[in-house]
Amino acid sequence: MSIIIVIGHPMDERQTLIQTIAVLEARLADLQKRLPAHSIPPAMITEMDELDEQLAEARLRLAELNSQPLY
């Protein structure tokens, strides 16, 4: 699943990113709880990598927005 971020007003984008980050963190936590102790299926590893990447991108974009002055 991909997260699409619509760029508009900076405050709207910030709020969207905060919500997106919360959803991604919850999905990642759920996935980590379901990981078996041994023989982790490749699909779970792939999903975890994708979630980590999406989370990093969302956090980076939020940090960029937070460094910009408010209008």
**Count: domains in the chain:** 1
Residue 63 confidence (pLDDT) above 70: yes
Structure tokens, 31: 């996935």
Structural contact between residues 44 and 52, judged by C-beta atoms closer than 8 angstroms:
no
Report the number of secondary-structure helices (H) and strands (E) in the chain.
2, 0
Task: Tell which wins on pLDDT, 69 or 28.
Answer: 28
Model pLDDT, residue 69 = 73
Residue where the block lists tokens 């990598």: 49
At residue 7, the pLDDT reads 56
Domain annotation covers residue 2: no
In the numeric block, the tokens 């619509």 are attached to 6
Nearest to 61 by CA among 2, 9, 21: 21
Render pLDDT for 4-60 as a digit per residue (tens, 0 to 9).
Answer: 555 556 678 899 999 999 999 999 999 999 999 899 999 999 999 999 999 999 999
Structural domain range at position 67: 41-71
Whether 57 is covered by a domain: the verdict is yes
pLDDT at position 6 is: 53
- The answer to whether residue 61 sits within a structural domain is yes
- pLDDT value at residue 11: 72
Name the residue type at position 28. Answer: L
